[in-house]
Amino acid sequence: MGFTAQTIEELKARAKRRVPRMFFDYADSGSWTQSTYFANEADFSKIMFRQRVAVDMTNRSLASTMIGQDVAMPVAIAPTGFGGMQHPDGEILGAKVARAFGIPFTLSTMSICSIEDVAEATDGAPFWFQLYVMRDRQFMYNLIDRAKAANCSALVLTLDLQILGQRHKDARNGLSAPPRVNLNTIWQLASRPQWCLSMLRTRRHTFRNIVGHADNVGDISSLASWTAEQFDPKLNWSDIEWIKERWGGKLILKGIMDAEDARMAAASGADAIIVSNHGGRQLDGAPSSIAALPGIIEAVGDKIEVHMDGGIRSGQDVMRALCLGAKGVYIGRPWLYGLGAGGEAGVEQALDIIRRELDVTMALCGERDIRNVGEHNLINPGVFSS
């Protein structure tokens, strides 16, 4: 892409210059005061590494497993809506890069590219699919069946979006896919002519998992209106049973931030949980994901595989989460920043940055195998203890 970033922050700055404000802000904002969104990033800096010297650093390996699946490093691309609005065919590009790097790609229900689009573009290679619980049960049945037909190897069920958080920037920007035509959006698009020209080269401009598949939905004008109509506020633990039965494969529960909920999740028969506050876009004032992780590891770490997302902006952050007990992490904003900064090449740079930083940090902590890292690699592993 003619640009080489050294950090995720550099990709973020480039994406901000290239992507219309409504879509950049969607990727780069939290709910209400954004206190949880900012805490997700800031709290990682409280965790201090234990540096070791004069140890053999040759033959290092980042290879591991997540829910029994071999991964080149314990990192997955998180499910994020509007990926295809950061860059044309964004989810397709993300899935291709993830496959090349040997890590899982998770497609969101609210993606611009459909399940079938991604499956066709990756020649049927397995990827993961994220599901919301919606009032239209037949639509959900069909989504699950479509994911099975597309060779998805895991279902990620999001539990923390029964109602939409107070996302003020999205409301002010008039977020929609495709963009609505008014003075606000016209100005935003006019200021990003290169983005507009690139979007003319794809037919994928709306929520293709939904449009043409849900009853009486020929077009989706905004995420907010769909959410208000379809996301099910009655979601409860009994729903997991029928979803698991319908799916029949690996099931991951996303949105766990409380030890009691973690115990309920472990008892549900799921294969893993994701400690996640939805990137700070739901309950503002909740703790950061990394601060919640140790308590959940203590409660259920011996009963179910625990993953986490939220605030990871470097390979060092990945290392910190793994040292505190996570078996895998998910990156949402970093891959979106890479996508907005330079499409496929930008995503490659984002993953390469994460991988390189993780490898160097592991080595300087005196480890050669990522599966062996733990609290012994930290000076203050109890920093988030209550």
Task: Quickly count: other Cβ atoms within 10 Å of residue 101's Cβ.
Answer: 20
Catalytic residue among 87, 205, 278, 376: 278
- What's the rounded Cα separation, in Å, for the pair 147 and 153? 9
- What's the rounded Cα separation, in Å, for the pair 374 and 385? 16
Helix ranges restricted to H, 19-89 = 21-27, 35-42, 83-86
Task: Verify whether residue 168 is a known catalytic residue.
Answer: no
CA Rg value for the chain: 20
Give the largest CA-CA distance in the chain.
66
Q: Residue 157 in contact with residue 253, Cβ under 8 Å?
A: yes
Q: Residue 153 in contact with residue 128, Cβ under 8 Å?
A: yes
Per DSSP, the residues of 324-373 read: TT-SEEEESHHHHHHHHHHHHHHHHHHHHHHHHHHHHHHHHTT-SBGGG-
Q: Residue 80 in contact with residue 156, Cβ under 8 Å?
A: no
Of the candidates 217, 272, 280, 213, the one whose C-alpha atom is nearest the C-alpha of residue 31 is 280
Burial of 358 (C-beta count, 10 Å sphere; 0-12/13-18/19+): buried
Give the angle 358-361-4 at the CA atoms, nearest 5°: 55
Of the candidates 10, 9, 152, the one whose C-alpha atom is nearest the C-alpha of residue 79 is 152
Helix 35-42 and helix 289-300, axial crossing angle in degrees, nearest 10: 70
Residues involved in catalysis:
278
